[in-house]
Structure 1
Amino acid sequence: MRRQELLRVRGRSVAWVPPLLLLVAIAVADYHTIGEFRMISWIVLVPAIAASICGVWGTALFAVLSLVTYVVADSAWPHEHRSGRADFVLVALGGILATLACAIRVRDENRALHMSDVTDTVRRTVLRPLPPGWGGLDHAGVYLTADARVGGDLYDIQPGPHGTRVLVGDVQGKGLPAVEAAAALLGTFREAAYHEAELVTVAERLETRMIRHRGHTVALGRSDGDLPQVLDFARTGGTPTATDVLLGFPDDEREAVDVLLFGHEPPLAVGPDGVRTLSAAAGPPQVRRWRVAAAETLLLVTDGVTEARDGTGAFYPLAHEVTRAVAEDPGTAEPARLAAFVRDGTLRHGGGRLGDDTTVFAVRRRPGGEAPEGGRLRS
């Protein structure tokens, strides 16, 4: 969060309060000190505190106030020991350095906020907003970055003539190469998921797009083009460029979902009766159809959740925690609440730190199955 937002009360900045209170406290304490022990030279701390929480002009103002207060306090009581010129220089120099430090801090903060805005813009461009009920599904998604660099986690919903398809994936790497790969996958998914009748054909289209993308990166001389693709990963057990899970919600079966996994964690079906794993079939990647009750939500997460560690190195027990939460309150299975619960649990387990980008996506059919206008497209 921005420091300015943290130091506001009812919309007004209160960043000036701590250094002002410190200024008054030091002046009062100095009045009550006697002999050669004088507190007034401690006033050099005031602009230092202001530099950490105020703006440049606010810090400069406290530097001047500190210097004026020093001069007044040091000369107001002739019978007391005077700190003298040396401490005057100390307070003046401290104010100047504090103002310079504040200017550097504000510049770096503005640069960080700018980069954060750029990252958010890139993510919004790649991960388009999903309208409520899109494709006849209730959904909730959470994306958290592990650092300032944008990552390659992705998710999307695409309604079409052959049902609604869902994609959740994790592209290897960080920064623009990962964003490029994610954008390539999402663009292909949105077209293939609409036009192709078979879910496995959608996956093949994604694989073809990644092979083409790899050829482009190799031509550019980038090392991210040397990694095998998702289908290669499933066959060889190598390191994939991207891991994906595809879900298909057929129109002809209300309580069915097709699952196709490529190196990704299998989804969890979370409902009032508990939690179960919708694992893939053994052998080469193939579509597996599962029966899913109307009250069950499908939970999909990326490595940021499953590989989150606590101080002892233990992984986050996702299935156990979700099972416990649903047993205590069946309403936790609702998509928005479930996504928020996993997000909070992951952050709490990792002590507020993320080892990898984290995506949590929860989805289930809307009651009644009707999508809002535009959410169920037909040829």
Structure 2
Amino acid sequence: MEYARRRRLLRVRGRSIAWLVPLLLLAGVVLVDFSTPERFRIITWIVLVPGIAAAICGVWTTAAFSLVSVVTYVAVDSAWPEQYQAGLADFVLVAVGGLLATLAAVVRVRFERQTLHIRDIAETTRRTVLRPLPAPWAGLEHAGVYLAADVDARVGGDFYDIQPSPHGARVLVGDVQGKGLGAVETAAALLGTFREAGYHEPALATVAERLETRMLRHRLHSTALGRHDGDRFATAVLIGFPEDALDTIEVVNFGHEPPLAVGPHGVRELPSGDGVPLGLAELAGGLPPVHRLPLGADETLLLVTDGVTEARDGPGVFYPLVRDIDRAVTADPRGAEPRRLVRRVRDGVLRHSGGRLEDDTTVFAVRRMREAGEALERGRLQT
């Protein structure tokens, strides 16, 4: 991430200007050396030029600046009377410094290429787990953003998906406990089960049961492989949008952050439920119940992971999610649209935390398409 940021800063209209920095330093050293008295020679400082180039330029550019620095040193030093010349020792310093700078550039460029390759692999993994969703999809308008706390890996245990089915659209948002590839594998396992069960099973309670079973099976498999994540669990919210009740949603909450219903009239927090995370149902004596809750045609369902609710500023104050959204929607009712809502929360979290995310952060917003809302409104008028 730091490498990408540096590259953006050193480009103008798509072209690199990194070479300009060591060139200006080279000119500055030569100018100062000629402008100061003979007892204050700084031509040896020219050794900094290839050093700076090694940090921001390519290998061949660094090698070119190393050669230019040696030639410039000889030319400038020879222009002074013999008694004031820096001499052979400083020449060796400049030459060796240029050689070491070139080698350092080789190492740096090779490391950056490896890092970019790892990031490409991580991005492919993320897109495999969090598959791109068409817009709209399954009769739902949606928007989502995932921000990894580990900006180099760009993957973590947060997940979300929409699954269309003959029984209405189903939505799953969750957060796997822990980090690393183990958390990614668990998220992938749960999403795979959700995509199958969410399509085939008529009852949302059965989908929830299948997710719990998958979590237990995954833990047993990990333990059999000798891994130390046999007690891993995941919080999640499973939501169903029944086609026969356009003003109602079904919610199963596995110990996750409570969903928020955001509309032109403000924000209301839906019941968080009494469920425990996936993989811990035995401790609670069973799965959490399915709650049927009202959701207006003009309301958007907002789901976040704890990376949002636990984001802190410098003094340690948590991000005021509900207050921030309520203020934004009150000022502009269009702020309840999924894309605007997700953008608002994302920017708010980054601004509040100063860009320092302590945990993976997912923001996902979804609502029925306008056609469904209009059908619901026509039905109300007819009754």
TM-score, structure 2 as length reference? 0.89
Partner of 2:201: 196
The 2-side partners of 1:315 and 1:91 are apart by 53
Deviation at 1:329, TM superposition (A): 2.4
Given that 1:306 and 1:318 are in contact with CA atoms closer than 8 Å, whether structure 2 keeps it comes out as: yes
Given that 2:256 and 2:272 are in contact with CA atoms closer than 8 Å, whether structure 1 keeps it comes out as: no
Residue identity matched to 2:104: A
Relative to structure 1, the CA distance from residue 200 to residue 129 in structure 2 (aligned partners, 3 Å threshold; closer, same or farther) is same
Given that 2:53 and 2:62 are in contact with CA atoms closer than 8 Å, whether structure 1 keeps it comes out as: yes
Range 92-101 or range 59-68, more displaced: 92-101
Relative to structure 1, the CA distance from residue 80 to residue 260 in structure 2 (aligned partners, 3 Å threshold; closer, same or farther) is farther
Residue identity matched to 2:221: H
The 2-side partners of 1:281 and 1:220 are apart by 34
Q: Secondary structure at the match of 2:138?
A: helix
Partner of 1:374: none
In the alignment, structure 1 residue 160 sits paired with structure 2 residue 165: yes
Partner of 1:337: 340
Q: What does residue range 1-379 of structure 1 map to in structure 2 within 5 Å? A: 1=1, 2=4, 3-78=6-81, 81-147=84-150, 148-149=152-153, 150-227=155-232, 241-282=233-274, 285-369=288-372
The 1-side partners of 2:102 and 2:317 are apart by 45
- Superposed CA deviations along residues 26-45 of structure 1, whole A, max 9, x for unmatched, are 11111111121012111111
Q: How many residues are paired up?
A: 357
Given that 1:34 and 1:80 are in contact with CA atoms closer than 8 Å, whether structure 2 keeps it comes out as: no
The 1-side partners of 2:272 and 2:31 are apart by 72
Residue identity matched to 1:279: P
Which structure has more relative contact order (CA 8 Å, sep 6+)? It is 1
Given that 2:255 and 2:274 are in contact with CA atoms closer than 8 Å, whether structure 1 keeps it comes out as: no
Residue identity matched to 1:276: R
Given that 1:244 and 1:263 are in contact with CA atoms closer than 8 Å, whether structure 2 keeps it comes out as: yes
- Superposed CA deviations along residues 319-374 of structure 1, whole A, max 9, x for unmatched, are 1111122222222221112112211221222221111111111111111039xxxx
Given that 1:166 and 1:246 are in contact with CA atoms closer than 8 Å, whether structure 2 keeps it comes out as: yes
- Superposed CA deviations along residues 175-198 of structure 1, whole A, max 9, x for unmatched, are 221121111101110111111122
Given that 1:142 and 1:359 are in contact with CA atoms closer than 8 Å, whether structure 2 keeps it comes out as: yes
The 1-side partners of 2:101 and 2:177 are apart by 43
- Superposed CA deviations along residues 134-175 of structure 1, whole A, max 9, x for unmatched, are 011111111111113421111000111111000001112222
The 1-side partners of 2:300 and 2:83 are apart by 75
Given that 2:259 and 2:272 are in contact with CA atoms closer than 8 Å, whether structure 1 keeps it comes out as: no
The 2-side partners of 1:282 and 1:91 are apart by 71
Deviation at 1:70, TM superposition (A): 1.0
Deviation at 1:282, TM superposition (A): 4.8
- Identity among equivalent pairs (%): 66
The 1-side partners of 2:90 and 2:332 are apart by 64
Partner of 1:231: none
Q: Secondary structure at the match of 1:160?
A: coil
Deviation at 1:80, TM superposition (A): 7.5
Question: Which residues of structure 2 form unaligned runs of 5+?
Answer: 276-286, 374-383
Q: CA RMSD in A?
A: 1.7
Q: Secondary structure at the match of 1:70?
A: helix
Given that 1:157 and 1:167 are in contact with CA atoms closer than 8 Å, whether structure 2 keeps it comes out as: yes
Residue identity matched to 2:301: L
